Amino acid sequence: MMFLMFCCLSSSSSLRMKMISSILLLLILSSCLCAATFVVNVTQSSYQAEENHSITLEWTFTTKTQGSYRELFIYCSVVAHKELIFYQVHNGVEIPDSQDKQFSGRVQSDKDVLREGRIRLHVSRLRTEDSGQYLCVVKTEDGSDKEKCQLNVHKIISAVPGQKVSLPCQLPNNKPAVDVEWTRSDLEPEENVLLFRGDQPDPENQHPSFRKRVELQDRRMKDGDVSLLLSNVMPSDSGKYECRVFKRESSGRKTINFNSEYIRTVFLDVAPPTENKVGREEDGSRNKDVGLIIGLIIGAILIAALIIGLIICYVIKNRKREEADDK
């Protein structure tokens, strides 16, 4: 069977690579050689990152000094809109061709730490669609195990006061029968920015500062677009916004709401234009007198220089006069 798998791996066909990946996963999961002492752990259960930044995901697994990595199998995938392969090792050798194109050229591994029982993967140029549940399954001659972690990649939207902005939230599929909830956890007494239930907004359960300023970009939610439009933004609108989507199932007259199916986090930063940001303090406030202070300092320096120049001229003239009198 290993010979057949090796033959498949030598093919450049993406279809065959996906088939061998599935076979490998089944082989790992169905292995009956799992020892109770073999354990896979994840360094962090949850990661938060910003769009276009990089992050390092790390797992550890039980090792034995006499172990051989000829039988090292690693299958790492992410479950976002669908299951995607982002890292794979077969018989101790990496298989980059099995990687989904979404992660092509963006995942680098530290090969040197594998023998220490560590899987360290660096993901660069993060995208919001990279958010999801990351699962790594590991099998060696000592046994097999798996562990997962959650990665949330946040999008940052910058705006200036008075603008109308769109906070994106895109569902994997077009699902018109959903309830949409946009929230900000730092708001009181009501954290809801927008509730959209039964194809209608619910202003009764909405924070007062957002009334008549927010709406869905597409009320029909075509192609799963549940983005939020926020008009006349102000600095107080800055913060972390979360988009949640709930499935709705009807049973007779009764509607059942399940837990949120999809969550997207967007950061909004509302500040004056770049050219007006001179003097912005660390807390985001502005020093309106900075220009005046700088002007006064420059003026004082010029006046001091003029006075010093006059004094020097006066001293030189006096010396010349005294020398003339002595003669």
Q: What is the pLDDT of residue 10?
A: 42
CA distance 26 to 10: 20
| Average of per-residue pLDDT across 111-137 | 90
Residue 235 predicted with pLDDT over 90: yes
Q: What is the pLDDT of residue 5?
A: 42
Structure tokens that stand for 152 in this block? 């949330």
pLDDT tier at 262 (50, 70, 90 boundaries)? low
Taking the CA atoms of residue 282, residue 288, residue 290 and residue 292 in that order, the dihedral angle to the nearest 10 degrees is 180
Measured between its terminal Cα atoms, the distance across the chain in Å is 117
Displacement of CA 201 from its chain's centroid (Å): 29
Structure tokens that stand for 306 in this block? 């003029």
pLDDT tens by residue, 269-287: 999 886 444 444 433 444 4
Highest average pLDDT, of 153-157, 194-198, 286-290, comes from: 153-157
CA distance 62 to 26: 21
CA distance 20 to 93: 14
Domain boundaries in the chain?
A: 2-153, 160-272
Supply the mean pLDDT for the chain.
78
Task: Give the chain's largest Cα–Cα span.
Answer: 122
CATH number of the domain at 2-153, please? 2.60.40.10
Residue 87 predicted with pLDDT over 80: yes
The 3-class SS string of the chain reads: CHHHHHHHHCCCCHHHHHHHHHHHHHHHHCCCCCCCCCCEEECCCEEEEECCCCEEEEEEECCCCCCCHHHCEEEEEEECCCEEEEEEEECCEECHHHCCHHHCCCEEECHHHHHHCEEEEEECCCCHHHCEEEEEEEEECCEEEEEEEEEEEEEEEEECCCCCEEECCECCCCCCCEEEEEECCCCCCCCEEEEEECCEECHHHCCHHHCCCEEECCCCCHHHECCEEECCCCHHHCEEEEEEEEEEEEECCEEEEEEEEEEEEEEEEECCCHHHCCCECCCCCECCCHHHHHHHHHHHHHHHHHHHHHHHHHHHHHHHHHHHHHC
pLDDT tier at 71 (50, 70, 90 boundaries)? confident
| Average of per-residue pLDDT across 41-70 | 84
Judge contact between 264 and 243, C-beta under 8 A.
yes
pLDDT tier at 289 (50, 70, 90 boundaries)? low
Structure tokens that stand for 113 in this block? 């730490």
Residue 96 predicted with pLDDT over 60: yes
Q: What is the pLDDT of residue 186?
A: 87
* Residue type present at position 205: N
Q: What is the pLDDT of residue 179?
A: 84
Domain 160-272 adopts which CATH fold?
Immunoglobulin-like (2.60.40)
pLDDT tier at 9 (50, 70, 90 boundaries)? very low
Query: Same topology for domains 2-153 and 160-272, yes or no?
Result: yes
Q: Which residues of 75-97 are buried (b: 16+ CB within 10 A; e: fewer)?
A: bbbbebeeebbbbbbbebeebee
CA distance 78 to 264: 16
Highest average pLDDT, of 165-174, 212-221, 312-321, comes from: 212-221
Q: What is the pLDDT of residue 281?
A: 43
**How many residues appear in the chain?**
327
